[in-house]
Structure 1
Amino acid sequence: MKSSLWVILGLYAAVALGTGIALVAFDHDSPLESSLDLSAVSAGAALAALGGGMITFTGFVMSVVLLVVQFGSSQFSPRFLRWFRDDPVMKHSLGTFIATFVFALTATALSGRGPENIVPYRALIGATVLTAASIAWFLALIARTSDNLRVAHVIQRIDSQARRVFDDVYPTTSTEVEAAQQAAASVDPNSAVQQVRNPDVGGVLVAVDRDELLRIAQRHNALSPAVNDPTTAVQCLHRIADVLRYAAAKHLSTGVVTDDRGAVRVLVPTPTWDDMIADLPVKRHPALARQLDLLEEAVGRAYPAEQRADALAADRQGLGMAIQTGESARGVS
């Protein structure tokens, strides 16, 4: 319901229809006097012209939007269609256009009733307000469409969605980890609603063969200036690095998905650091061993011998040394 385009457009049309009937009836029951000295014929002609123009304008906008979606889907991803469909600016702008057309059509059909030539001033005011709103939403739609076609904006949206996925699946603090582990331990495996198994071989990306990747890119001319912009590729790599840095702060070993009330809904066997190391290609082992040696050397230079073992202990939150040091200080004092 929330993401349905037809629901939003239907609500706009229904509200415009009811508002048009109410304003015209109000004009007939209590006519307004104005210094504009308009006639009922001119008011009806203005409303009729507005209704005809808005339906033509809405069709033109829809045609342009469909061309933009087709271009974006072919250049970026088929998910581009979903982004446009779920965009609130797209929904409300089209809804305003349709509401203006329905309101003008209703006011035109109802304003000429009765023997008296009553000028529907309230209906004209409502039509003017809707026309101004349509212009505002049209400008907002142009701005949003141009932003959606920018590569930097597309990459930013992917980055934001990836962060939300990490926030929803993986906890951040040790308290959240303990709560997730306790919630998982309280679940009876025999009471599971459904077990989903992947028949294919699962895998986790643990390393990238840079030399082979460069050879593939050169062989397929993947970053030719005539086809793709190398700057775009650099922006994508920067965003990937940003997402990986954001994921590094998460506890990837917890595969517990809970709802808003904390109830366990899904248990996913997620990879741990040891799993990633075990699946690491053999040729990457020396580089990893070298990084671990450099880390131990840095710890040896930064901490005295009596604190070195504590400093090398696994503590992803970085609180172990602080807690132990604080306890030692309280004991000395």
Structure 2
Amino acid sequence: MGWNRRYSLKSYVRSSLWTVPLIAVAIYAVVKPLTEMVGRWMIRQGILDPETGFFGLSMTGARSLLADIVSADLAFLVFTFGSLLVAIQVAGGQYTPRIIATTLLRDNIIRSISGLFVFTLLFANRTAGWMGEEQVHQFQVFIAALFGFASVVAFLFLIDYAAKFLRPVSLVARIGEQGLAVVDSVYPAPSSGVVAAPERDGARADPDRIVRLQGRSGIVLAVNLKMLVAEARRTRTIIEVAPQVGDFVAVDEPLFYVYGKAGAIDDSRLRTLVAFGTERTMEQDPMFAFRILVDIALKALSAAINDPTTAVLAIDQLHRLLRLVGKRSLRIEEIVDRSGQVRVILRTPNWEDFVHISFREIRQCGAGSIQIARRLRAAIENLIQSLPEHRHDALYVELALLDRAILSKQEFPEDVALARIPDSQGLGGSAASVAGH
């Protein structure tokens, strides 16, 4: 199996809810025989009384306890999956569908608790079926009772966790954390204070070979840069990845541009170093976190929902991400080998791209809201104060556009003056809080 297929499979498993319950079934298949062996050993050694055990349950009491555990865990499972389906529908409609696979279905707490319910249900049901008419398997009943108690506690915790998890502030904060991690991995170097030249095509000759996509169209999820560098070094070539991570690539579109001894390159091997999927993921896509946060803000600002406070929460996280991005080197990524020779070129978003996605659409949809206008101004002015000077030009452009939008949206001079006050809370804070934001 090639690297791209392994990566796509891994991404699918991480965003699938059924995988952890399936693992729980495998664990049950191993644990249940072990507990039966341990129970028989404890009886032979005199550690466990086969009549009284830990609880002193009779056959009727043991069967009743196990039946209660099975019924409870079955109800927990039905409630959990039913509620999750409702939560997915609500979250997709109120926030954005893009949080379903990236956030909701990847939550390990929800997946693990579902696995616990499945394991306990199978264990208790098997224990009840394994007992004969005369002997109570006290150790297995004790283990089933422990897992049953753990299931009740986990269910109560899950209700509280899900209620908090689905709040707007929790969702946008989690997306912000994921975005910070991606920025750290894609842009590890601090900014040098020098703006990279935006154009490179004119400086590089035409490629000696173009490797095109075959098979199935899709979105670029990730690129195996380490193996690409090794392949380019082995063949003494320079390999340029034509799309950037997050782009949709159709069949027969360019996937790689090869410079140098192009005849030494194996096309099929290169194609296995790019993973494709049907939906963007965050692992190597720093722009996707911005896209999700902006979509949440736009949905909140829509006439159907009209919740500018949720949009302010999204702007908080965009502000947080931009502060980190602005301090990192965003040059066109030229990856070198151990000798310092450029081997791989991979395009990544530049500073203007991040600024545009963070402010343009939100300003267009929300400039009429004084709350949004004040929060956008607070974010822009804070970034101007905290980021290096070579990041300021794009921010000043956004500030000027915001002023023009306010004048076009607000009819009264008093509202214009109020909308031009930077406020990190949107409406309710003060300009004094901006500098320390």
> Structure 2 length normalisation: TM-score?
0.48
Alignment partner, residue 128 of structure 2: 108
- Residue type matched to 1:110 in 2? W
Letter of the 2:114 partner, please give it: L
Give structure 2 stretches of 5+ with no counterpart. 1-9, 195-224, 251-286, 288-297, 355-388, 391-437
From 79, 88, 91, give the equivalent of 2:111. Answer: 91
Matches within 5 A, 1:215-226: 222=301
Is the CA contact 2:190–2:327 (under 8 Å) kept in the aligned structure 1? no
Matched, 1:6 2:23: no
What residue number does 2:27 align with? 15
- Per-residue CA deviations over 1:223-266 (Å, capped at 9, x if unaligned) read 66x8322222222223222221211101111414699xx99995
Cα distance, 1:5–1:42 mapped onto 2, change above 3 Å? same
Identify if the C-alpha distance between structure 1 residues 45 and 238 changes in structure 2 by more than 3 Å, giving closer, same or farther: closer
Corresponding position: 1:159 with 2:176? yes
- Judging changes above 3 Å, is the alpha-carbon distance between structure 1 residues 20 and 269 closer, same or farther for their aligned structure 2 residues? closer
- Kindly indicate whether residue 240 of structure 2 is the aligned counterpart of residue 228 of structure 1: no
Quote how far apart the aligned CAs of 1:49 are.
3.2
Match of 1:39 in 2: 58
For 1:130-145, list aligned pairs within 5 A. 130-145=147-162
| Aligned CA distance change for structure 1 residues 141 and 11 (closer, same or farther; 3 Å) | same
SS at match of 2:18: helix
Q: What is the identity, as a one-letter code, of the residue corresponding to 2:124?
A: A
Report the RMSD for the aligned CA atoms in angstroms: 4.3
SS of the equivalent of 1:154 reads: helix
CA distance in 2, matches of 1:78, 1:26: 48
From 128, 132, 146, the equivalent of 1:129 is: 146
C-alpha distance 169-120 of structure 1, shift in aligned 2 (>3 A): same
Distance in 2, Cα, partners of 1:97 & 1:269: 45
Whole-angstrom distance in 2 between the partners of 1:127 and 1:274: 58
| Structure 1 residues 49 and 25: alpha-carbon distance in aligned structure 2, compared to 1, 3 A threshold | farther
Q: Distance in 2 between matches of 1:172 and 1:42?
A: 65
**Contact kept? 1:9, 1:95, Cα under 8 Å:** yes
Large movers: runs of 4+ above 6 Å: 262-265, 271-276
Q: Which moved more, 1:82-91 or 1:52-61?
A: 52-61
Structure 1 unaligned residues grouped into runs of 5+: 206-216, 277-312, 315-333
Check whether the contact 2:189–2:329 (CA below 8 A) recurs between aligned residues.
yes
Equivalent residue number for residue 247 of structure 1: 325
Name the CA shift for 1:6/1:232 in 2 (closer, same or farther; >3 Å).
closer
Aligned to 2:69: 50
* CA offsets 1:270-292 (integer angstroms, 9 cap, x no match): 5767999xxxxxxxxxxxxxxxx
Aligned equivalent of 1:63: 82
Q: SS of 2:105's equivalent? A: helix
Larger Rg: 1
Q: Distance in 2 between matches of 1:10 and 1:273?
A: 43
Q: Specify which structure has the bigger relative contact order, considering alpha-carbon pairs within 8 angstroms and separated by 6 or more residues.
A: 1
Residue 89 of structure 2 aligns with an amino acid whose one-letter code is: Q
> How far apart, CA to CA, are the structure 2 residues paired with 1:152 and 1:244?
18
Answer yes or no: is the 8 Å Cα contact 2:301–2:308 preserved in 1: no
Query: What letter matches 1:229 in structure 2?
Result: D
How many residues align? The count is 250
Greater fraction of residues in strand = 2
Q: Secondary structure at the match of 1:86?
A: coil
Mark the CA change 1:43 to 1:74 in structure 2 (over 3 Å): closer, same or farther. Answer: same
State the TM-score, normalized to the length of structure 1.
0.61
| C-alpha spacing 1:165/1:253, structure 2 compared with 1 (3 Å) | same
Question: Does the Cα contact within 8 Å between 2:237 and 2:343 map onto a contact in 1?
Answer: no
Structure 2: how far apart are the matches of 1:146 and 1:221? 19
